[in-house]
Structure 1
Amino acid sequence: MEASLELGPLLRTWRGRLQPADVGSPFGFTSTRTPGLRREEVAWLAGVSPDYVKRLEQGRAHPTASVVYALARALRLSDAETATALRLAGHASDLRALMPRRITPSVRRLLDRLADTPVAVFDPAWTRLDQNPLWGALTGDSRGRGEREDNLVWRIFHGDPGRVRHPRPNEYRASIVADLHRVHTRYPNDSDLASLVSTLRQSSDEFAQLWSTSALGEHGNERKTIDHPELGPIELDCDIVTVQGAELRLIIFTAEPGTTAAEQLRLLDVVGTERVSTP
């Protein structure tokens, strides 16, 4: 039965069963709109262009595994539906060989409920998949699209650390390479992950050296400083929570109550999210 399926018509079907309120669409279309999500909304949620969504639905484009995962997150696909989409796109006959990149419903609820705490969700290789509005207001990051520009390792070794200052940068870089090394060992047949590692080794001498010497260390919790352009330096506790089974990482910034940092976060929650909530 699955052999007769095509990805394009399935994408249209999945798009049609969702409403803007289901996914937090910022576009604000009126009630006279056609049922389901528009291509523009799917494109915004998945981090691709509306024209690319159109070409996918018409069978005129071949998505990478990372794009399929981005579409699965945007369309709230189940595990079985995500597996079907990956197979139809020609990725991995054994889906267990692929690194998990799907945000589970429970993690999605956490993002929705921790509105007053900056939180972002990362896959095992440290690619940011999604975030809540306060994370964007704090870090300046746009909504996670699952691309290399959203990967912490890529940004670190290409001179784009963003607003976050690490207290021990050398140890941080070594530990995150060691962590990526362990993930690559677990998923040696994931082509997107292999491509990320290969490109990093070619483009960064420091990464290549750390990779070849099997850098040691655990990438874990520590206090960090975020240099906000309007509120100045904000010192926050940074905790990393791993979701077992789904292998997702949550990075959570918090401040001790009654501190200057807590007041800065409160101000950011009041005024900062208004500027980053629009696409």
Structure 2
Amino acid sequence: MDRQELAGFLRSRRERIAPADVGLAAGRRRRTPGLRREEVAQLAFMSTEYYTRLEQGRAPRPSREVLAGLARALRLTDAERDHLHHLAGEPPAPPTGPSREVRPSILDLLARLPQAAATVISAAFEVIAWNDLAAALMEDFSALPRHDRNLVRKAFLDDRNVYGVSDAETFGRRSAMQLRAAAARYPDDPELTALVRELLDGSAAFRELWESHDVSDQPTMVKTFRHPLVGPITVNCDVLDIADRDQRLVIYTAAPGSPSEEALRLLSVIGTQRMSVEGDGVEEHPGVVR
């Protein structure tokens, strides 16, 4: 552990972050550049005393959990996170399971797509980020526990045709193939292992697909959602790989000038009104990982 280099690195990362970047008010008497030590400690879920000792080069070696909290609080890039681990004498370990952390730039992108419904999907098919229009088109993911945000679980264990999509069978086949590949990449992840076991025990269709050992399929380019309020909406489906996080950004757009584009526009208004009128006091933020 290089205490002095670690201390200098933490100070430099703290001082570059504006309070507004992490949702804090700047205030009138802020005399330090960037964040205060106590603010970093709060964001990283640790005591101010311990964080102060880290910046002073007097703290014992931080655990991996502490390093993860610091990386999150200081909004470190992947390269900076690895550097932090090396300075602390804890080389970064390979991930045991699919990443659920979405880059801030991807969250910003979701918010900048007001005419498209967009989600971020983990390698385990969990919806981990979304924008307002995606919530209006599919469902309010913020109201669901993590367990119920998994699309492959919905495809095989939900009796309903999920979201009324036209390609439900194709999606089920493709998701089973991709889940098998993910299980091979993360053999030590207990959540992924439990998900596969749940699907094998609960769905004969999934079990048949799983036993085929297929791991690839052609992506769906166009699909139709049957929405209960605005009817069928046919959209282009573009999937962009976020390779460094093993995630996928899924973007649904309607053809310009089409009835589906008008339906999406109407749905964006209905969805916004629904959240403001029926809200239960919880403020909704598009694209936030929950």
TM-score normalised per structure 1: 0.66
Aligned length: 237
CA distance in 1, matches of 2:75, 2:143: 15
Match of 2:51 in 1: none
Match of 1:162 in 2: 162
Superposed counterparts of 1:177-216, under 5 Å: 177-215=176-214
Q: Which runs of 5+ in 2 are unaligned?
A: 2-13, 28-37, 48-67, 83-91, 277-282, 285-290
Match of 2:6 in 1: none
Match of 2:252 in 1: 253
Q: What amino acid sits opposite 2:244 in the alignment? A: G
Deviation at 1:57, TM superposition (A): 7.8
Match of 1:231 in 2: 230
Match of 2:149 in 1: 150
Match of 2:52 in 1: none
Contact 1:166 1:225 in 2 (8 A): yes
Match of 1:115 in 2: 114
Contact 1:224 1:235 in 2 (8 A): yes
Deviation at 1:217, TM superposition (A): 4.3
Q: Which runs of 5+ in 1 are unaligned?
A: 2-13, 43-55, 59-68, 84-92
Deviation at 1:236, TM superposition (A): 1.2
The alignment partner of 1:201 has SS state of helix
Q: What amino acid sits opposite 1:175 in the alignment? A: R
CA distance in 1, matches of 2:128, 2:81: 15
Superposed counterparts of 1:28-67, under 5 Å: none
Q: What amino acid sits opposite 2:192 in the alignment? A: L
CA distance in 2, matches of 1:74, 1:226: 38
The alignment partner of 1:245 has SS state of helix
Q: What amino acid sits opposite 1:163 in the alignment? A: Y
CA distance in 2, matches of 1:144, 1:104: 22
Deviation at 1:100, TM superposition (A): 2.3
Q: What amino acid sits opposite 1:185 in the alignment? A: A
Match of 2:98 in 1: 99
Q: Per the alignment, do residues 230 and 22 of structure 1 end up closer, same or farther by CA in structure 2, a change over 3 Å counting?
A: farther
Match of 1:240 in 2: 239
Contact 2:107 2:129 in 1 (8 A): no
Q: Which has the larger radius of gyration?
A: 2
Give RMSD over aligned pairs: 4.4
